[in-house]
Structure 1
C-alpha cells in the first residue's frame, strides 16, 4: 500500500531478475549499433555533406542532456501503481516503435511528399530522418536510464551486486552491438524482408529498413519479458522523504530545484568521476560514430558523394567492413564485461582498470593514422580503370584489430562509471534515476562537443576522420591518467549514511 514501507525479499537481487532487466540493453544497443554503423553514411546518401553529417548527433546529445535528468527525476518520484520504472520503460518502447518506422521509411515517405528520385538532395526525407533520429534518442533515454535505475533498485544497496548488475547491462549492450553490426555488415539482409525494396529505397536503404524491423521485434520481446517478470509496488511516502534527505517529499519539489540540490551536495570524488567520464567519452564517441565512415573513406578510398559509381561502391563496401570490425569489437566487449569484476580485483580496483582501458583506447585511435597511411599508399598504386580490389589483408586485419582491442575500453566505459555512480548514491541516499541522469550529463555534453566540432576540425585539417581521432586520443590519455592516479573510489572511502528501514526480512522500499 502507498504510504507504507514495502517489504522486499532478499531474492529481489536474484541473477534471473538482473538478467531480465539488463537484457533490454540488447534491443537498445542494437538500435544504437545501427545508428553508429549505418546512419552516418545513410544521411550522406540523402544529400547531407560529410562536414555537416556529424551535426545530426547534436540532436541526440541535446535530447540526453534534457530528457535523461527529467526522466530520472520523474522515475524516482513516480507513484504509479505499476511501479517507478516500468511506466517509463513501456513509454520508451512506444516512442522507439514510431522512430524505427520514420527512419526506415524516410525515403519512401519523402518521395511521396515531393522528393525527386533524380536529385541527390532529398530534403523531406532528411527532415523525417532527423525527426525519427530525435525520437529514437528520446526512446533510448526513456529505456536505458530507468533500466539501469531498476537494476540498482533490485540490488538492495549490495555494492558487489550493483557492479555485477551493471556488468550484465554492459554484456547485453555488447550482444546488441554484435547483432546490430552483423546486420549492418550483411549486404543481403533485405532479401529476408523483400517488401523493403521499393523504387525509392534500393539495396542499402532496404537493409536499413530491415534492420529496424528486427530492432522492433527485439525490443517488444525483451521489454515484455522484463516488465512482466519484475513486479514493482507503489512508492512509499516514507521512502520519498528519505530520498529527499529528510526534507519535503520529492513530489513537491521541482525538477530544477532537485537537480541543483544534487549538484550542490556532490562531493569531490563524484566531481572527479564526472570529469573522468566526460574525458573518456571525448575519446570514445568519435570512433563510434565515424568508425564505419573511416573504413569507407580512409581504408577503402571511397566517397558516398562521388559521381563515380566505383568510388561509391568502395565506400559502401568499406562501411560494411567497418560494421564487421564493430561486431568484433562487441564480441570482445561482451567477454570483457563479464571479466570486469574479477580483473578489477586483481588490479587493485576497478578505477585502475578503467584507466588502463582508456590508455588502450588512446593507442587504438593513434593506430588509425598508420593504417590510413598504408591504405593511401596502396590505393595510389592501383589503376584508375573502374575495377578495384580489396585492400591487402594486412591493412584490413590492422583496421579490424583496432576495433577489436577497443572492445576492452568500451567494456569498462559502459559499466564502471555507472556502477560507481549507483554505489555513491546508495552510500549517501537519493534517487538512483536522478543520480544516473547526472552522470549521463557528463556523457552527452562531450557528445555535443564532438558532434559540433567534428565539422570544423574536418575543414581546418583538410577533411577526413583522422584529425578527430588524434584529438580523441589525447583526451583518452588524460582520462586514463586521471582515473589511475587521481580518481578515488568513493565506495571504498565512505560508509553508508542512509539505509532504508530494515527488518530481518531486509525491509526496503525499492519501487
Structure 2
C-alpha cells in the first residue's frame, strides 16, 4: 500500500526515491520562478501586455512538440549514460544558459531596447522547450527504474518533491533577495535566475549520479519508428494513440477535461484574488499602483497556501490510497509471515482496506472537490474566502500531479512484466488474492497478446518481483508496442491541448464581458475583473466534473 512504511523497507529504498525524484523538485523551482516573475519582467522591459500573452504560448507549443519528440528519441537512445540521462543533462545546461540570458538581458543587449526584448523572448522560448525536455525524461526515468510494486511510491515521492519546489519558488516572491544574497546579482530577477540555475543543476546532478540506467546496444523493438528520421518519429507519435492500451486512453481523456479546469486556475488564480483585494480596499485612499502591488501580494499568498497544502497532502494522501501493485506486494509479504504475524498482518490489511481507497477513486474525489471549489466562487466575496478556496485546491493538485502518472507507470510496468510471464491478471480483489512471481521462459506470442489485451480492458495485471531496467514498453491490443517515453509524450499532448483551448475561450469570454460591462458608469474594475475570472473558473469546474465522471468509470474497471 502506497505510503505505508513496513518494517521490511530499507533506508536504501527510501534514499532511492529521494535521489530519483529530487531533480523534479529542482525543475519545479525553476518553473515557478519563470511563471511567477516572467510576466512582470517582460513588462518591465517595455513589452506590451498583448505581446506578453504570445510569449506564454511557448509553454503549450513546447509541450505539444518537445515532450513527445524527446520521449521517443530517448526511447531510442543508445548512449553509454543510458537512455534518459543524456537528455536530462543537455536540457539542464540549456536551462542554465537561458536563465543567465534572462537575468542579464539588459547587460547583454546594451542600449538597444528592441534587441533586449527579442533576446528575452528567445530565452523564454528556449527555456520552455528545455524544461519540457527535462520533465519528459525524468518522468520516463521513474518508470524505467522502479519495479511495478514501487511505481506508486515513486510517483508519490515525485509529487512531494514537486510540492517542495513549488513552495520554495513562491516563497522567493516574499523575500528581498538582493539584500539577502547580493553576491548572486544586483536585481531581484538576477538573484532568482541564479538561484534557479543552482538549485536545478545540483538536484539534477544528484539524480543523475545516484540513478543508474542500463544502456541499450540498439533501439528497443518497442520504440516507435526506430529506423525512421526524427521528423518521421514525431509524426508517428501522433498516429500512435490507437495503439495505446485502453487504460492509457481513458487517462488521456480524463486529463483532457481535468486540465481544462486546471489551466484557468493556474493562470488566473492570483489575479482573481488581486481583483477581490482591489475591490475591497478601493475606498482606502490607496493609488491604483498600490492596490495592484498589494493585491498581487495577496494573490501570491493564496497560491503559496495552495502550494503548502499540496505538499502536506502529497505526504498524507498516499497513506490512505492503495494501488494494484502495492496491494499485491502487501499480500505476498503477508503470505511469507509466520502464522502469528500473518494473523496480525491480516488484521492490519483489513484495517487498511476499511480506511483506504483505490488510486483511481482518490483521483475521482479530488476532481469532484476541485469542481466544488470552483463553483464556491459564487459565494466568495472576500480575499480570505478566496484564499481558503485556493488553499483547499491543494488537495486536488497533490493528486493531479501524482495519480495519473502512477497509474500510467503501473500499467507500463505491468505490461512489461506480462511480456515476460505471459500470464493473465487475476480477477479477484486485491485484498483477497495477491500476485505471485513466476519463472520466465519461452512464451508463445499469442499468450502475451492475450495477457496484454486483459491489461487494456481491466487496467491491471499480474506483477513480478524485480526491476525493469532492461527497457519498459507496452504491447497494446494492436500489432505494435510503445515505450515509456512515447506513452508519456502522448499523455502530455492531452495536457497541452487544454491550454490552447482555455487560452482561446478565456480571451473570447473576457472580450464579451468587457463589451457588456465596460460601459457601466462608476464601475469597480477590481470587482469586474474578479467576476469575469470567476466565471471562467466555474466553466473549468464543469470540465472537472466531466473528468470526475470518466475517472469514476476508470475506478470501477480497475478494482
Quick check: TM above 0.5? yes
Once the two structures are superposed, what CA deviation does each residue of 1:178-205 show, in whole Å capped at 9, x if it has no partner?
Answer: 000000233x22222447877xxxxxxx
Q: Shift of the alpha carbon at 1:72?
A: 0.4
Corresponding residue for residue 181 of structure 1: 170
CA distance, structure 2, for counterparts of residue 271 and residue 249 of structure 1: 21
Corresponding residue for residue 402 of structure 1: 389
Answer yes or no: is the 8 Å Cα contact 2:361–2:555 preserved in 1.
no
Q: Per the alignment, do residues 37 and 256 of structure 1 end up closer, same or farther by CA in structure 2, a change over 3 Å counting?
A: closer
CA distance, structure 2, for counterparts of residue 11 and residue 65 of structure 1: 39
Q: Per the alignment, do residues 260 and 57 of structure 1 end up closer, same or farther by CA in structure 2, a change over 3 Å counting?
A: closer
> What secondary structure sits across from 1:487 in the alignment?
helix
CA distance, structure 1, for counterparts of residue 280 and residue 119 of structure 2: 27
Q: Shift of the alpha carbon at 1:277?
A: 0.7
Q: 1:336 aligns with which of 308, 313, 316?
A: 313
Q: Shift of the alpha carbon at 1:347?
A: 4.9
Answer yes or no: is the 8 Å Cα contact 1:30–1:176 preserved in 2.
yes
CA distance, structure 1, for counterparts of residue 366 and residue 199 of structure 2: 30
- More divergent stretch after superposition (324-333 vs 63-72): 324-333
Corresponding residue for residue 403 of structure 2: 416
Once the two structures are superposed, what CA deviation does each residue of 1:245-299 show, in whole Å capped at 9, x if it has no partner?
Answer: xxx9835574146425631212433222111111111111112122222233342
Q: Shift of the alpha carbon at 1:127?
A: 2.8
Runs of 5+ unmatched residues, structure 2? 1-8, 323-354, 416-451, 453-473, 475-481, 515-527
Larger Rg: 2
Q: How many residues align?
A: 433
Corresponding residue for residue 153 of structure 1: 144
Q: Shift of the alpha carbon at 1:334?
A: 1.4
Answer yes or no: is the 8 Å Cα contact 1:67–1:141 preserved in 2.
yes
Aligned residues: CA RMSD: 3.0
Once the two structures are superposed, what CA deviation does each residue of 1:302-349 show, in whole Å capped at 9, x if it has no partner?
Answer: 99xxxx992122212222222222222112111212233332334532
Q: Shift of the alpha carbon at 1:208?
A: 2.9
Q: Per the alignment, do residues 181 and 302 of structure 1 end up closer, same or farther by CA in structure 2, a change over 3 Å counting?
A: farther
Answer yes or no: is the 8 Å Cα contact 1:301–1:311 preserved in 2.
no
CA distance, structure 2, for counterparts of residue 442 and residue 78 of structure 1: 25
1:472 aligns with 2:459: no
Corresponding residue for residue 317 of structure 1: 294
- More divergent stretch after superposition (29-38 vs 432-441): 29-38
> What secondary structure sits across from 1:83 in the alignment?
coil
Once the two structures are superposed, what CA deviation does each residue of 1:446-472 show, in whole Å capped at 9, x if it has no partner?
Answer: 112223333222211227333322221
Q: 1:326 aligns with which of 295, 299, 303?
A: 303
CA distance, structure 2, for counterparts of residue 279 and residue 249 of structure 1: 30
Q: Shift of the alpha carbon at 1:49?
A: 5.4
Corresponding residue for residue 269 of structure 1: 247
1:284 aligns with 2:289: no
CA distance, structure 1, for counterparts of residue 407 and residue 136 of structure 2: 15
Q: Shift of the alpha carbon at 1:162?
A: 0.9
Corresponding residue for residue 442 of structure 1: 494
CA distance, structure 1, for counterparts of residue 243 and residue 263 of structure 2: 29
TM-score normalised over the length of structure 1: 0.77
CA distance, structure 1, for counterparts of residue 162 and residue 261 of structure 2: 19
Q: 1:192 aligns with which of 180, 187, 191?
A: 180
Corresponding residue for residue 363 of structure 1: 372
> What secondary structure sits across from 2:507 in the alignment?
helix
- More divergent stretch after superposition (411-420 vs 96-105): 96-105
CA distance, structure 1, for counterparts of residue 134 and residue 58 of structure 2: 17
Corresponding residue for residue 114 of structure 1: 112
Runs of 5+ unmatched residues, structure 1? 1-9, 116-122, 199-205, 375-394, 494-511
TM-score normalised over the length of structure 2: 0.71
Corresponding residue for residue 85 of structure 2: 86
Once the two structures are superposed, what CA deviation does each residue of 1:2-45 show, in whole Å capped at 9, x if it has no partner?
Answer: xxxxxxxx999933222112111111111222233333344444
Answer yes or no: is the 8 Å Cα contact 2:68–2:234 preserved in 1.
no
